[in-house]
Structure 1
Amino acid sequence: MTERKISTTPDTSRLNETELATYRRALQGEELPSDEPGLGSLLGRGILLPNTHETGTYVPAQPGFLQTQLTSAVLRVLTEARDALEGIPAHVRELEAEQERFNHTPGPVGTLLLRTVPEVNAETIRTIQGAEFEILTSQPGHRKPRVLKSALPRDLQAAQRGVTVRTIYRTSGRSNPTQRDWVAVMTRAGAQVRTLGEDFLRLIVVDRKHAFFEIYGEDGTVQENSAAWYSQDRGVCALLAAYFREAWDRADPWVPHEGETGARPEDDTKTTKVQRTILRGIVGGKSYATIGQKLGYSERTVTAHVSALREALGMNSVAQVTHWWATSPERLLP
């Protein structure tokens, strides 16, 4: 950012006793020496002007002219200050971009424990309202109607101002009327929603700079008595954003249509929950070994599940199975 020089604010203070005494002598036409106390200040402020017809004497500036000059000077300073303030966000973003370009890691800012729901709400509202380009949220639990309705104006405003909004819900949420209404309004505004039929983390990531996530105990379960962690650590935010992207790739798009009632299990379901999780992993480009590690199975067990499904469907290859899965309503089952 080019350095901006702001003019000095003109001195509009009242005359002190010394300046006033000198000003009165000048009004009486007295000849004043150049080192007369207060004279330099009066000349510098434009209150007195040298008399070009008589050396050593001075004439006063006309009050109307002086007022106009001082007013213009003050307005010029205010305008420059306003322009400087407006340039601060761009200046900071430029510095952030340079730091990211050279992989500079900011000093540790820590992770803040938000102990109550009101604290979480206040911080998330503030952060989402300030989002510049992206909001990622995953909501594995059931969101109460009042929560969805209260969040809608905030979320909608973000989408309408061009922020990318992506949300993951559980597949079972498709049968929630209030959730369907939220999705219908948000997708019309440009938001993207998907559903996932497996366990995933509850989190919010904004601009890859802010992250809110649940608190887990040493036993791996969510601590019900705590609200959430809030982190501005770039490493934590990047990790959670990457986790979201992986879950997003496995999830199914939720494109609302008139009369949608949500997914319902078919009477002749061909897949088990484990097989559906495996299929989502395959479609997401994961190897059998990686899928098995996530499920706690060996690669051989994953292969056996896929083979059993292929045989049940009467198909000859895994490619045929994945093609069937791409259009099957069973994609929407948990």
Structure 2
Amino acid sequence: MHLQFRKRKLGFMAEQEISIGPDTSRLTELELQTYRKALQGEVLAPEEPGLASLVERGILLANTHEQGRYVPAPSGYLQRHLTAAVLKALTGATEALAGIPAHVRELEAEQQVYNHSPSPVGTMLLVTVPEVNAETIRTVQGAEFEILTAQPGPRKPKVLKGALPRDLQAAQRGVTVRTIYRTSGRSNPTQRDWVAMMTRAGAQVRTLGEDFLRLIIVDRKHAFFEVFGEDGAVQDAAAWYTQDRGVCAAFAAHFHHQWERADPWVPEEGEGGVSPEDGTLTTKMQRSILRGIVAGKSYEIIGHGLGFSSRTVTAQVSALRDELGMNTVAQLTHWWATSPERLLP
């Protein structure tokens, strides 16, 4: 890497290219010997070991009045300018790094023009929210046939409203859009509005009353997933991004396993999982509650496991008793013990 800076050369200014390396300021043993000869006023031949490097880096300055003699650059001057050169090199390297994603996207666009399918890449860590947003937006906007999303936590109203136009556009152009939320999300008004609009556009939404991984999978070729710290906690601002086809296929299989166990969320049929599924008297959520009751768990513990309060569990049990015409929980658990629905997921 070469940087240009001005140095004082016996009374006049001249431009010089200085080579910036990992340890530019430290002299080798040969350079140190040559530097000492210059300090002693010796005449140095052009081929003197290390002389060219010392002059190139501005450590020695040629005496234009006495050929072959060199003087040391003032230490304060040398420190300032070597420091400035290194800082400039770092700035240039930082700008070059920042431009890499855009450059790669330009090359990808060129590949697509010539119908070239780029080889899969490894996994990249996105460490800030802007990075994650930029990559996910770009990838989702380019979806060709499928977007699979698993969102275990509540989504902020601002995020949902910002994502709605993009998500709607994908669904309206024929892309299959499937999303899994936590069951507790059914009580979120903004989330209900998002689901209502997306399902009208052809998207499918389901809810699951247990923990699951946050995922975005696009066309089985791109996957975004959570970053876990050494303590096992999720790093909210970061995400892993991969184009490894094997990893994407594994995450897609995991998503569909969760999808099959989740309850459909169709706003017109009622909120909160109260409406029974076709051909059954219970929802998956209610079956999870009944299994907890039979296991001797309290409503509070059952609700915590499903992401609800104990009052929601109580409401679900009451709704099911009313549906079955039963007066007590004992009657309900007896019915459950003999019902074929206990074998359903």
Q: TM-score, normalised to structure 1's length? A: 0.51
Q: In the alignment, which residue of structure 1 is the partner of 2:272?
A: 262
> Is this contact kept in 1: 2:147–2:218, CA < 8 A?
yes
Cα-Cα RMSD: 3.5
Q: Residues 276 and 127 (structure 1 numbering): CA distance in 2 closer, same or farther, change over 3 Å?
A: farther
Q: In the alignment, which residue of structure 2 is the partner of 1:91?
A: 115
1:313 pairs with 2:334: yes
> Is this contact kept in 2: 1:208–1:238, CA < 8 A?
yes
2 CA distance for matches of 1:245 and 1:126? Answer: 24
2 CA distance for matches of 1:134 and 1:212? Answer: 14
> What is the one-letter code of the residue matched to 1:241?
A
Matches within 5 A, 1:101-116: 106=119, 109-116=121-128
Q: Residues 128 and 322 (structure 1 numbering): CA distance in 2 closer, same or farther, change over 3 Å?
A: same
1:212 pairs with 2:224: yes
> Is this contact kept in 1: 2:263–2:273, CA < 8 A?
no
> What is the one-letter code of the residue matched to 1:319?
P
Q: How many Å apart are 1:227 and its aligned residue?
A: 1.1
**Partner-residue secondary structure (3-state), 2:180:** strand
Q: How many Å apart are 1:257 and its aligned residue?
A: 1.4
Q: In the alignment, which residue of structure 1 is the partner of 2:132?
A: 120
Q: In the alignment, which residue of structure 2 is the partner of 1:171?
A: 183
**Partner-residue secondary structure (3-state), 2:178:** strand
> What is the one-letter code of the residue matched to 2:291?
Q
How big is each residue's C-alpha offset from its partner over 1:203-256, in whole Å with a ceiling of 9 and x where there is no partner?
A: 1000011000110134433134x4101111111111111110000000000011
2 CA distance for matches of 1:135 and 1:189? Answer: 14
Q: Residues 244 and 274 (structure 1 numbering): CA distance in 2 closer, same or farther, change over 3 Å?
A: farther
Q: In the alignment, which residue of structure 2 is the partner of 1:239?
A: 250
> What is the one-letter code of the residue matched to 2:212?
F
2 CA distance for matches of 1:158 and 1:143? Answer: 19
Pick from 140, 145, 153 the counterpart of residue 133 of structure 1: 145
**Partner-residue secondary structure (3-state), 1:314:** helix
2 CA distance for matches of 1:90 and 1:134? Answer: 23
1 CA distance for matches of 2:230 and 2:267? Answer: 40
Q: TM-score, normalised to structure 2's length? A: 0.50
1 CA distance for matches of 2:111 and 2:339? Answer: 57
Structure 2 unaligned runs (5+)?
1-108, 275-284, 295-329
Q: In the alignment, which residue of structure 2 is the partner of 1:99?
A: none
Structure with the higher strand share, 1 or 2: 2
**Partner-residue secondary structure (3-state), 1:242:** helix
> Is this contact kept in 2: 1:270–1:312, CA < 8 A?
no
Q: In the alignment, which residue of structure 1 is the partner of 2:202?
A: 190
How big is each residue's C-alpha offset from its partner over 1:278-304, in whole Å with a ceiling of 9 and x where there is no partner?
A: 9xxxxxxxxxxxxxxxxxxxxxxxxxx
2 CA distance for matches of 1:232 and 1:217? Answer: 22
How big is each residue's C-alpha offset from its partner over 1:168-196, in whole Å with a ceiling of 9 and x where there is no partner?
A: 00101111110000000000110000000
> What is the one-letter code of the residue matched to 2:272?
G
1 CA distance for matches of 2:111 and 2:231? Answer: 49
Alignment identity in percent? Answer: 67
**Partner-residue secondary structure (3-state), 1:91:** coil
2 CA distance for matches of 1:201 and 1:277? Answer: 26
Matches within 5 A, 1:1-334: 91-92=115-116, 106=119, 109-224=121-236, 226-257=237-268, 260-263=270-273, 273=289, 275=291, 312-314=333-335, 317=338, 319-322=340-343
Q: Residues 177 and 312 (structure 1 numbering): CA distance in 2 closer, same or farther, change over 3 Å?
A: same
Aligned length: 194
Q: Residues 187 and 89 (structure 1 numbering): CA distance in 2 closer, same or farther, change over 3 Å?
A: farther
